Amino acid sequence: MDLITSETLFTRAGHRIPGGVNSPVRAFKGMGRAPMFVSRARGPYLFDVEGKRYIDYVGSWGPMITGHADPDVLGAVRDRLEDGLSFGTPTAVETDMAELICEIMPSIDMVRMVNSGTEATMSAVRLARGYTGRDKVVKFEGNYHGHVDSLLVKAGSGALTHGEPSSPGVPASLAEHTVTLSYNDIEGVRECFREIGDQVACVIVEPVAGNMNCIPPVPGFLKCLREVCDESGAVLIFDEVMTGFRVALGGAQAHYSITPDLTCLGKIVGGGMPVGAFGGKRHIMEYLSPLGPVYQAGTLSGNPLAMAAGIALLKKIRQPDFHKRLSERVNTLCDGLEQRARAAGVSLLTHRVGGMFGIFFTDQTEVNDFAAATGCDVERFRRFFTAMLDRGVYMAPSPFEAGFMSSVHEDEDINATLDAAEAVFATLT
Ligand code: PLP
């Protein structure tokens, strides 16, 4: 009988699934090896089809903040399962979820549930355009908002640079409405708004950038966005798909005390089920169909099982000190990595915000934007990633992704990670 391995499964998948994966980053392209195929997960661990265990710092790209197969989340899903999977009618559990989100994030007066982070950002941008009657969208280089056509735009840095499609298939006539600015460039933002502020429908931003490694906002950056939006009448959208409920219970908006007009959510809000949401000020949300003229819909939106999973997780992470303990774990990991790298003569910088972190192989003392993030040593990261994976530690398979801690990564897991890193650093010089 043929042995089932990750390699053989990846080869088989490649015949029928483009690249063998249903989301590109899972292919480990650029990491020089095939991905592991996971068969199950529990707590801070993944187990591959060959039975190997990994300490997991990806957490399904963010949702698994209390670890995999959380018994409370699984129990909530099990409790609802026998009542049916989907009704296509309103259910009480959707209002339970909406009330909970509005309680946790006071900037949100009303919220609509969708099925992914991409749907949340796509719908929020449409709503902002419909509400303002304007077309232009301002986004930031290196920020990712899902695979929405008008947000899949890369542009040269600097104010007023009009977009070029970064993916074939995005019409240039659509991309030209997207203006891409440099992240953390306060003067660039002000200059852009001096020139075209009256045409801008919205500014969409990752309030902590988590898709070019992990880059926090410099002091004054988010405040500047709030100010230019207030002055110009543009809608300020915080894409908190990653940061929501992770950098603080109330998200980056609570952590930095800046109030957006609209917020996009995903990942944790679904407890591991396919869920997104967008919400915000009542007078804007009332523009949505069926109250208002901006159309938005979803056959499976507000799915009862998904709502049950998300509610169970949100209730669990509302415990006092949950996020304080989570960030203490992140600090233990990042301090330990920096110390061991220094001892081995490897230049390494870490960033941490609440339950997320970034590791940069660089001599730079600051990494605040896309240019600095892409200037880090990608080859050294690749060697680090593969050697850590061999030792049973799964970091994000790209130098441009953030890391995620869970509340069930215990000291022994973090110490084992640091021991592995020490051994790997010794091979990197
Ligand atoms: N926005 C941000 C900040 C994200 O990190 C992601 C996904 O990683 C998305 C939007 C898109 O979410 P989804 O993959 O659920 O469509």
3-state secondary structure the chain: CCCCCHHHHHHHHHHHCHHHCCCHHHHCCCCCCCCCCEEEEEECEEEECCCCEEEECCHHHCCCCCCECCHHHHHHHHHHHCCCCCCCCCCHHHHHHHHHHHHHCCCCCEEEEECCHHHHHHHHHHHHHHHHCCCEEEEECCCCCCCCHHHCEECCCCCCCECEECCCCCCHHHHCCEEEECCCCHHHHHHHHHHHHHHEEEEEECCCECCCCCECCCCCHHHHHHHHHHHHCCEEEEECCCCCCCCCCCHHHHHHCCCCCEEEECHHHHECECCEEEEECHHHHCCECCCCCECCCCCCCCCHHHHHHHHHHHHHCCCCCHHHHHHHHHHHHHHHHHHHHHHHCCCEEEEEECCEEEEEECCCCCCCCHHHHHCCCHHHHHHHHHHHHHCCEECCCCCCCCEECCCCCCHHHHHHHHHHHHHHHHHHC
Q: Where in the chain is the domain with CATH 3.90.1150.10?
A: 6-66+320-428
Name residue 265's beta-bridge partners: 277
For residue 239, what are the β-bridge partners? 264
Closest ligand 1 atom to residue 274 Cα is: 15
Longest dimension (CA), the chain: 69
Q: How many angstroms is it from 240 CA to the middle of ligand 1?
A: 9
Superfamily of domain 6-66+320-428: Aspartate Aminotransferase, domain 1 (3.90.1150.10)
Tell me how far apart the alpha carbons of residues 72 and 75 are, in angstroms, rounded to a whole number: 5
Residue that has been written with the tokens 């919205």 in this structure: 202
Say whether pLDDT at 20 is over 90. Answer: yes
pTM: 0.96
Ligand 1 is surrounded, with C-beta below 6 A, by: 61, 116-118, 121, 144-146, 206, 210-211, 239, 241-242, 266, 276
Rounded to the nearest angstrom, the distance between the alpha carbon of 305 and the centre of ligand 1 is 21
Contact criterion met (CB below 8 Å) for 277 and 269? yes
Whether the Cβ atoms of residue 420 and residue 342 lie closer than 8 Å to each other: no
Of 341, 315, 317, 366, nearest to 426 (Cα)?
341
Question: What is the distance in A from the centroid of ligand 1 to the CA of 70?
Answer: 22
How do residues 321-375 score in pLDDT, each as one tens digit? 999 999 999 999 999 999 999 999 999 999 999 999 999 999 999 999 999 999 9
Indicate if the pLDDT at residue 245 is higher than 90.
yes
- Which residue's alpha carbon is at the smallest distance from atom 9 of ligand 1? 146
Ligand 1 atom at minimum distance from 23 CA:
14
Q: Which residue has the higher pLDDT, 210 or 167?
A: 210
Site to probe by mutation for ligand 1, drawn from 241, 353, 400 as the one with most ligand atoms within 8 Å of Cβ, is 241
Ligand 1 atom closest to Cα of residue 119: 16
- The percent of residues in the chain predicted with pLDDT above 90, rounded, is 92
The alpha carbon of 182 and the centre of ligand 1 are apart by a number of angstroms equal to 20
- pLDDT value, residue 1: 59
The phi, psi pair for 181, rounded to 5°, reads -115, 165
Mutate to test the pocket of ligand 1, among 60, 123, 145 (most ligand atoms within 8 A of CB): 145
Place of tokens 């966005």: 225
CA atoms within 13 A on the CB side of 129: 15
Which atom in ligand 1 lies closest to the alpha carbon of residue 276?
A: 15
Please identify, by atom number, the ligand 1 atom nearest to the C-alpha of residue 266: 15
Q: What is the pLDDT of residue 156?
A: 33
Distance, CA 2 to ligand 1 centroid (Å)? 37
CA–CA separation, 426 and 20 (whole Å) = 34
Residue 236: per-residue pLDDT: 99
User: Could you list the active site residues?
Assistant: 144, 239, 267
Question: What is the per-residue pLDDT for 159?
Answer: 29
Q: Please, what is the average pLDDT of the chain? A: 95
Confidence check: pLDDT of 28 > 70: yes
Task: Say how far apart CA 26 and CA 325 lie, in whole Å.
Answer: 29
Ligand 1 pocket test target in 118, 245, 268 with most atoms within 8 Å of CB: 118
Q: Around Cβ 12, how many Cβ atoms within 10 Å?
A: 13
Closest Cα to atom 13 of ligand 1: 117
User: 75 to each of 45, 162, 252, 305, 376, how far by Cα in Å?
Assistant: 20, 49, 29, 11, 43
Q: What is the pLDDT of residue 3?
A: 82
User: Integer distance in angstroms from the first to the last C-alpha of the chain?
Assistant: 43
What mean pLDDT comes out for the span 240-263? 98
Average pLDDT over residues 296-322: 97
Q: What is the pLDDT of residues 130-145, one digit of tens each?
A: 999 999 999 999 999 9
For the segment 122-180, what is each residue's pLDDT rounded down to a tens digit? 999 999 999 999 999 999 999 999 999 989 876 333 323 334 446 888 888 888 999 99
CA of 117 to the centre of ligand 1 (A): 5
Ligand 1: atom nearest CA of 117 is: 12
Instruction: Say how many Å lie between the CA of residue 116 and the centre of ligand 1.
Output: 7
- Measured in whole angstroms, the distance separating CA 35 from the mean position of its chain's CA atoms is 21
The ranges of the chain annotated as CATH 3.40.640.10 are: 71-316
Nearest atom in ligand 1 to the alpha carbon of residue 206 is: 3
Provide the residue type at 71 as one letter: P
Top mutation candidate among 242, 247, 273, 400 for ligand 1, by most atoms within 8 Å of CB: 242
Instruction: Write the CATH number of the domain with boundaries 71-316.
Output: 3.40.640.10
Rg (CA), the chain: 21
Classify the C-alpha dihedral 105-108-110-111 as positive or negative: negative
- Interval between CA 424 and ligand 1 midpoint (Å): 31
Q: What token pair was written down for 376? A: 């880090």
- 429 versus 191: the higher-pLDDT residue is 191
Share of the chain above pLDDT 70, in %: 97
d(CA 74, CA 103): 24
Q: How far is the CA of 273 from the centre of ligand 1 (A)?
A: 14
ipTM of the complex: 0.99
Q: Alpha-carbon distance 56 to 45, whole Å? A: 5
